[in-house]
């Protein structure tokens, strides 16, 4: 999943919402004591067909067809040719299969999002501790970040890359400071001096638009030398974009 685009991730999240609603609907049917059992499960075959449609969509986004169970609709008896006990059993099978399908969808994005959280928290808590002198250039902050990555056991060229992945957007070349391919994540470092806050915000806004074409996740590490008074306000307009986060490190 780390190579999914934003559109693919949105598609997965929509599928998750739809499948949760689907499971809730079946559960409501199974536990609806206000309806006699002889007619309560009459939608069993329709639900199996809907499940198969979901399975096809999940196979499309996850590409794991060998792991996805589907019902042979022609083997399912039509309404009127099955007793309510059989109808209930089929509905229960559809619910179990749908829950397993839902778990596959949820697991496909949870790992990457959790790792993104871990990276963000790691830099938030550790970066300031490895910068002893007030930096004059962004490369000093970049070097500190790379030291932390290496200290965390990541290998350059395998787990991360630095200043690679050049691409063009709107006639301009972009090279992210760091990329972590397995998370489809780019990391940009900004050294913020007094009087450059508006300029840095403009730079980040421009980067976001460009990097969204290539990376699903973006992390901006802003090393602040005293220019930011209100961190929430600074982050507000930047973090409104999906998959974009900002860390402010104060010297």
End-to-end CA, the chain: 36
State residue 206's pLDDT score.
92
Q: Residue 186: phi, psi to the nearest 5?
A: -115, 145
State residue 90's pLDDT score.
95
Q: How far is CA 226 from the centre of its chain?
A: 33
State residue 2's pLDDT score.
41
State residue 52's pLDDT score.
96
Rounded to whole angstroms, the Cα distance separating 212 from 217 reads 8
Boundaries of every domain in the chain: 6-109, 131-250
25 and 64 in contact (C-beta within 8 Å)? no
Fold exhibited by the domain 131-250: Trna Endonuclease; Chain: A, domain 1 (3.40.1350)
State residue 66's pLDDT score.
56
State residue 12's pLDDT score.
85
State residue 85's pLDDT score.
92
Q: Which ranges of the chain would DSSP assign to H, the alpha helix?
A: 6-30, 37-40, 44-62, 84-126, 138-151, 197-211, 231-236
Type and span of the H or E element at 158: none
Residue owning tokens 């969509």: 57
Residue owning tokens 């206000």: 34
Low-confidence ranges of the chain (pLDDT < 50): 1-3
- Residue 191 pairs in a beta bridge with 223
Residue owning tokens 């400071």: 177
Rounded to whole angstroms, the Cα distance separating 86 from 84 reads 5
State residue 3's pLDDT score.
46
25-59 pLDDT per residue, tens = 999 999 888 888 888 999 999 999 999 999 999 98
């Amino acid at each position: 999943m780390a190579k999914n685009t934003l559109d693919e991730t949105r598609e997965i999240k929509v599928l998750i919402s739809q499948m949760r609603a689907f499971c809730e609907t079946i559960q409501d049917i199974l536990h609806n004591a206000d309806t006699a059992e002889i007619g309560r499960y009459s939608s069993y075959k329709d639900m199996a067909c809907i499940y198969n449609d979901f399975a096809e969509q999940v196979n499309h986004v996850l590409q794991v067809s060998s792991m996805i169970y589907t019902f042979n609709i022609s083997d399912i008896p039509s309404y009127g040719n099955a007793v309510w006990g059989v109808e209930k059993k089929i509905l229960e099978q559809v619910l179990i299969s749908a829950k397993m399908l839902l778990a596959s969808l949820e697991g496909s994005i949870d790992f990457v999002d959790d790792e993104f959280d871990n990276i963000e928290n790691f830099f938030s808590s550790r970066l300031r501790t490895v910068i002893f002198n007030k930096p004059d250039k962004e490369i000093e902050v970049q070097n500190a970040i790379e030291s932390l990555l290496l200290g965390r056991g990541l290998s350059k060229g395998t787990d991360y890359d630095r200043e690679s992945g050049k691409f063009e957007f709107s006639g301009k070349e972009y090279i992210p400071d760091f990329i972590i391919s397995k998370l489809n994540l780019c990391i940009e470092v900004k050294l913020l001096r007094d009087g450059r806050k508006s300029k840095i915000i403009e730079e980040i806004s421009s980067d976001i638009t460009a990097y969204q074409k290539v990376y699903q996740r973006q992390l901006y590490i802003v090393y602040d030398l005293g220019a930011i008074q209100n961190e929430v306000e600074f982050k507000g307009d930047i973090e409104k974009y999906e998959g974009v986060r900002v860390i402010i490190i104060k010297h």
